[in-house]
Amino acid sequence: SEGYVVVGGSGSVQTLTATGYRESPLSPGALVWFTPGTIHRLVNEEGLRLIVLMQNSGLPEAGDAVLTLPPGRLTDPDDYRTAVALPVDAGEAVQEKAARARRDLAVEGFLALREAVEDGDPEPLAAFHRAAAALVRPRTGEWRTRWEDGAATAAAATAHQLDALDRGEAGHLADARVHAERPSAYGRFGMCGRLDVYRT
């Protein structure tokens, strides 16, 4: 899942699922979240600033999300990776040009999927889901490790703490710690804009 807390500016998030198309306005104080399988497109109308929360240690930005490129670009994993990759060692202008080209391809595919859904044709969206699953399948082992080391470990720790409380034990409370972080990256090109990245 992924969620947006709007802290400034205005815009919208356009979402597409098997249940249809939806556009949610974004203004300060708004909270919008969605589950895996939701195709989403952010529209920045005026200075939109968000806090983005990602489940499972940021899997979407780690490649879990598949951009809505036109169908012909989704069948070959190498072609897809080439189309969405940004030249990390290049200068800012080159990266921005590549990010805009990637965005334009994704918008082209998104608009075609939205039109099909609005016309009552579920097959293009279902075909996209199948192609996306095929593209990410080779990385599931890596993501399983990320999940096991992150969310699954946190859930198991919570279970142990609840068990301790059931026994009337409070020793785990002495293990409390405070963490304060600065971004590990500033202004990184993400799939939906520029990101300041925090590792939690």
pLDDT of the residue at 31: 96
Per-domain residue ranges for the chain? 2-197
Nearest-angstrom CA–CA distance, 23 and 6: 15
The DSSP-derived string for 152-177 is: IHHHHHHHHHHHHHHTT--GGGGG--
Residues in the chain: 200
Nearest-angstrom CA–CA distance, 113 and 39: 10
**134: pLDDT strictly greater than 90:** yes
pLDDT of the residue at 116: 98
pTM above threshold 0.75: yes
Q: Is 95 helix (H, G, I), strand (E, B) or coil?
A: helix
pLDDT of the residue at 183: 86
Higher pLDDT, 55 or 15: 15
Q: How far is CA 166 from the centre of its chain?
A: 37
Q: Is 111 helix (H, G, I), strand (E, B) or coil?
A: helix
**Residue-wise burial string across 103-141, b where 16 or more C-beta atoms lie within 10 A, e elsewhere:** bebbeebbeebbebbeeeeeebbeebeebbeebbeeeee
pLDDT level of residue 62 (50, 70, 90 thresholds): low
pLDDT of the residue at 165: 97
**200: pLDDT strictly greater than 80:** no
Give the model confidence (pLDDT) of 106-132 as tens digits. 999 999 999 999 999 999 999 999 999
Tokens of 130: 């199948």
